[in-house]
Amino acid sequence: MIILRTLCIFVCSLLGASAFAQSADTSRVPQSAAEISLSFAPLVKEAAPAVVNIYARRVVQTRRSPFENDPFFGGLFRDFNAPRPRVQNSLGSGVIVSADGFVVSNYHVVGQADDIRVVLNDRREYQARVLIGDEEADLAILKIDAEDMPFLNLRDSDTVEVGELVLAIGNPFGVGQTVSSGIVSGLARSGTATGNARGYFIQTDAPINPGNSGGALIDISGRMIGINTSILTRSGGSNGIGFAIPAALVAEFLDQARAGLTSFQRPWAGATGQPVDADLSDGLGLLRPEGVVLTALHPASPLVAAGLEVGDVIVEVAGQPVNTPAEMLFRMSVQGIGETVEIAYLRNGDNLRTKIALIAPPDEPPRDVRVLGDRDVLTGLTVARINPAVSAELGLPLNKEGIVVVKPGPLGRRVGLQTGDVLRQVDRIVIESPADVGPALRRAVPNVTIDAERGGQRLLLRFRA
């Protein structure tokens, strides 16, 4: 008992001496878990200057007159309930990722903004412009005109492990820059687990609240592993389940912004699939549930060119396991168009490997965009032929064919048309090309019937022109 007590006093003395030595020494980034337990202060001091507050403004028109587009009542009630501009403000966070002023944030923070201000931790302010914004990935790259800026280095997010200590830095509720700590509590989160079927995320229990969106999730070396983007909550506050977009995707966005692209270009798989669950696994003769089973393939898909078939199960892309379509798309996106990647797949119990070229969605056959003019029935209606590129832009199902509404225009919107509607017939006249739409509408006057398809359902629209 006396020996144990003496040993305890000796160990405690060593820990006290270590803490005293560290406080006396110049502050530095903690190098071990023991040092982390003493304080995060040196780490925060190093990383916080690169995390910025973002103030975005958007001017919208409200209180539109119900008679605004009416040919008779529009003039009579011109001033009735006239539309008025209203300013919408959004608050979020961002991260400087290069010394020459590239900033990353969430699309939902800045994507639709007319005016963006970036405010640094030292109160310096800059106007920012969006270089690339992508709603599906919920990422945006901004640029401020400044040099020698503090910035965070990006870590390869594929090296992140569950249980790692992390810090979330942002501006929750507009109270000012705030730091919260936690661990990586999950990887490869996608689908219903996140409330976003298209996303692929790192999960953390570090408290994330409104305003933290676009802020940094960093490791204990001060490297950014993700951009905080969303939470699962019933109350609106943090319940310990937050999600961050992996730094690997941020790096690809940054590369495309530096290359001068104005929209994010992601590779096209030309395929649909579903996760392999226990029931599917038994039916496919697999030893365990894994991978993504292909349910449909476009004839121009690079997977078809590589020899894959419907029913094959993709288990790896670029050396990383995939278990959901969102994860497969993520692995392709971080590689980028123009690259060649190896995939592993299962067919009839055999383990096979092949390489596929990552390509942009083909713009063939030609989309042949047509915009109806002033003399047409639905002035401003924009239509195009469906091809893989058009399908990717509008989110249409794979292998969909026909003529699609790209923009309904003000009159098309009034009669019920929406972007993505596929036009089949106008007054029993089959629409086979974009050039058929205008003449078919003119021939149908005055009583027009449009037979269309929306979300796989037939749609009939009737109006008098």
Question: What are the catalytic residues?
Answer: 108, 138, 213
Would you call the peptide bond into 361 cis, given omega within 30 degrees of 0 as the criterion? no
Structure-token pair, residue 129: 């412009």
Q: What is the dihedral of CA 416, 419, 421, 426, to 10 degrees?
A: 60
Distance CA 147, CA 435 (A): 51
Pairing of strands 178-191, 196-204: antiparallel
CB 40 within 8 A of CB 48: no
List of residues 6+ apart from 151 with CB closer than 8 A = 50, 96, 97, 98, 99
List of residues 6+ apart from 73 with CB closer than 8 A = 67
CB 333 within 8 A of CB 339: no
Give CA separation, 163 vs 29, 168, 216, 243, in Å.
Answer: 20, 15, 18, 15
